[in-house]
Chains A and B, each alone.
Chain A
Amino acid sequence: MHIPDGYLSPSTCAVLYGASAPFWYAALQRVKAILTTRLVPLLSVMAALSFVIMMFNLPLPGGTTGHAVGVAIATIILGPWASILAISIALSIQAVFFGDGGITTLGANCFNMAIVGSLTAYAVYRIIAGRAALTSPRRVMAAALAGYTAINASALCAAVEFGIQPIFFKDPSGAPLYAPYPLHIAIPAMMIGHLTFAGLAELVLSAGVVAYFQRTNPSLLKLTAPGNLAPDDAIADPGSQSLWHTLRPLWIGLAVLLVLTPLGILAAGTAWGEWSARDFSNLQTREKMAIASRHTAPPAQPPRGLERLSSLWTAPFPQYAPSFVHRPAMGYALSGMFGAGAIILVSLIAGSLAARGKRKGSQEP
């Protein structure tokens, strides 16, 4: 899981450092606002603990042993933001001091394990644990699944990063310059190991530690349990007041991506499988489809099911180009704004309905 230097191209590494930066910034601001002067000692010691947890060799069913990252248990105890920082710091020390994982790939490793891992673990744990009591067996199951899902989500990200290397980076003879295997090999190769051993190690650790705390000190589980939040719990609660302030970099990132959407026009060829029924009768698009399918000619007629269902729904902006806009770049940008705006609107309505439901629930005797 710790990607060494040399497996990813420098541009992939740069993109993943860039993708991680807003999360690090948001997490640091959020945790700093809550912990103030306690930030330095708490994060230092918790990062050291994350490092030591990664060294534990866990006994797995079947007689083997395996290492866990401990991302789910860090998220459950510290909340997702502090967990992102603690795991990132532990990964940095592993890379810089112990040479475990690369220096150029540190951004990718932090993105996969610390960011995707913590957020996935948090979402799964909160959804499954719900409002169960701190000592409920449901929390043990939620922790187990959170650990298992988080490590597999991280592995999937790493597999996709490996799998896209041979698509974009080849030498003049066509030899892949970095991780050589395409997505259809990289994804199963990574996932088989993680769906079995690594996932199991994370599952055993997360469930075991939550069960241990339920017996000895359940108050440590309060941070990610809704309903009885202590003042410090706001680290974990994504709905507190300073949300706008800490999420500002993410909004700025979204705005930049919207402005950059016309870059899609530069892409050559056709997106494989995203064809309409009409494309099968157009000579030019048939040629593009054949190139995208490794020179396999598409069928002479569009598939019947595709033809029948294609008239069911007509998109308001077909081909990302509203009919009233004549410049494709403007059409792309407008479609991006419309799409992102629609998603944000739906999220805000859903969030407001959920908050109203929660308020009603808490007012009832």
Chain B
Amino acid sequence: MNFFERTLAGFLDAVEHALDAEEVSQANGLLQRLDPRVKVVGILMLIIAAAMAHKFWVIGAVFVIALILAASSRVSPLLLGKRVWIPVLLFTGIIALPAPFVIPGQVIGRIPGLDWPLTAQGLASARYLVTRVETAATLSVLLILSTPWTHVLKALRVLRVPVVIVVILGMAYRYIFLLIDSARDMLESRRSRMVGEMTGSDSRRLAAASVGVLMSKTLQLSGDVYSAMLARGFRGEVYMLDDFQTTAVDWIMLFCFVAIAAAAFYYGR
């Protein structure tokens, strides 16, 4: 695959991810029914609990809770496998692979033929890394898949993120898809007019020029967006409509999140 195909595949993957998230967030599951503020705070507490645990079984227990949350929220294991488990295993697994042979400690065996020492501490460190990363990634993807982006943003206000940053995050997210569309059109139209193979230096020049064109368009776009905002009465102040309402289920789930995180902190010390 040349850079055209790879870049276009990357754009397609981002759009596909957004569509997956939209579809899952519409399902009638446990996490989808929760107030986004409870979800953001609760899942963040579980991620921190998994990150702080010094015992393998505690990280494993948080992972099992993530699986239960996924099942009760109608997030298919196939989707989690495709989006989280396999990519994380490939990336972190490769990083963790040399650890059992590199980390010094008690030798518990040797690789036949190569005579490489396998240490208990090395194995444990690889296991800590992979399970911790898988658990945290599963939880954060669950949050993303079960919550529309606009709701995540509003919920960030609970964490005292300034309104102006929340508004910029929201607008940036919308423009990402516009710019992806624009970049995709640009690359596809160039590819459709191409005959034969491009040399390496021509490809680099074309890639840099595409980024340059996109950048010029973006600067122009920011001016247009500003004019459009001014025309609609924008004076620099930003407001958000916080229309969330908590129900009994939210409070029960918040209590569950706090209890699980507290237990993980306590037993994971």
Contact = CB atoms under 8 A, between A and B. Distances in A.
A9 B51 CA distance: 7
A36 B230 CA distance: 13
A155 to B, nearest CB: 15
Contacts of A61: 200
A175 B144 contact: no
Contacts of B263: none
A329 interface: no
Given A43-B168, A52-B214, A99 B180 contact: no
Nearest to B209: A212
Nearest to A217: B216
B88 A4 contact: yes
Contact of A7 (B14, B17, B133): B133
Contacts of B105: 173-175
Interface string B107-121: 000000000000011
Contact of B211 (A7, A41, A209, A220): A209
A125 interface: no
Interface string B190-213: 000000000010011101111111
A56 B186 CA distance: 13
Interface string A209-235: 101110011001000000000000000
Contacts of A89: 165, 168-169, 172
A48 B176 contact: yes
Nearest to B130: A6
A175 B125 contact: yes
B235 interface: yes
B264 interface: no
A55 interface: yes
B256 interface: no
Contact of B172 (A70, A93, A102): A93
Given A9-B51, A38-B226, A59 B129 contact: no
Interface in B108-160: 120-122, 124-126, 128-129, 132-133, 135-137, 140-141, 144, 149, 152
Interface stretch (A177-185, A261-269, A345-353): A177-185
Contact of A49 (B48, B204, B218): B218
A16 B107 CA distance: 35
B238 interface: yes
Nearest to A77: B215
Q: Taking chain B's interface residues, is the majority helix, strand, or loop, or is none over half, making it mixed?
A: helix
A5 B17 contact: no
A205 interface: yes
A18 to B, nearest CB: 15
A164 to B, nearest CB: 15
B19 interface: no
B219 interface: yes
Q: Number of contact residues on B: which range applies?
A: 35 or more
A120 interface: no
Interface in A320-352: none
A220 B219 contact: yes
B126 to A, nearest CB: 7
A4 B133 contact: yes
A81 interface: no
Contacts of A5: 47, 50-51, 132-133, 136-137, 140
A96 B211 contact: no
Interface of A: 4-7, 9-10, 13, 28, 32, 36-49, 51-53, 55-61, 63, 65, 70, 73, 77, 89-90, 92-93, 95-99, 102-104, 166, 171, 173-181, 185, 204-205, 207-209, 211-213, 216-217, 220
Interface of B: 2-3, 6-7, 10-11, 14, 17-18, 21, 44, 47-48, 50-52, 54-55, 83-84, 88, 91-92, 96, 99, 102-103, 105, 120-122, 124-126, 128-129, 132-133, 135-137, 140-141, 144, 149, 152, 164-165, 167-169, 171-176, 178-180, 183, 200, 203-205, 207-216, 218-219, 221-222, 225-226, 229-230, 234-236, 238
20 contacts: A5-B133, A6-B136, A37-B235, A41-B222, A42-B222, A45-B221, A48-B172, A48-B173, A48-B175, A53-B214, A57-B10, A73-B215, A77-B219, A97-B149, A99-B137, A171-B124, A177-B125, A178-B132, A181-B102, A208-B212
